[in-house]
Amino acid sequence: MNPIREKVVLHPRQYGWSSYRATADELTPPDWLTTDWILGQFGTRRGDACSRYRDFVKAGRGGAAPWDQVQGQIYLGSEDFVARHQPNCVIRDIPRRQTQA
């Protein structure tokens, strides 16, 4: 979504360095590009997975950049998520400010 957020293109298929077209089954992926893993997150049948992937990308268009939601420079999640994942112990080798938001 970065090229869209930066207004380089209007749709991910327009960005030359994007894997969107290959992952969305709009063209045959080059030999070096693996799309099976990501499509596996959307379904077991390739056609359904590609369709769900396209829907997923479409739903993300116009949304906030994930990096805008980072808390304490290290957490991406709600305040509840941050509270649950704060370390409960002191780790001497890591400065406190790097382990706690």
Could you tell me if 25 and 45 lie in one domain?
Answer: yes
Could you tell me if 54 and 90 lie in one domain?
Answer: no
Which residue range is the domain that position 34 belongs to? 2-60
pLDDT at 101 over 60: no
- If you average pLDDT over residues 31-49, what whole number do you get? 95
Between CA 75 and CA 101 the distance in angstroms is 7
Q: What element of type H or E holds 38?
A: helix 36-40
Q: Is the pTM of this model over 0.75?
A: no
Residue with tokens 């869209």: 4
CA angle, residues 34, 10, 62, in degrees to nearest 5:
90
Could you tell me if 24 and 48 lie in one domain?
Answer: yes
Give how many domains the chain has, as a whole number: 2
40 or 63, which is more confident: 40
Could you tell me if 39 and 77 lie in one domain?
Answer: no
Number of H helices and E strands in the chain, helices first, is 6, 2
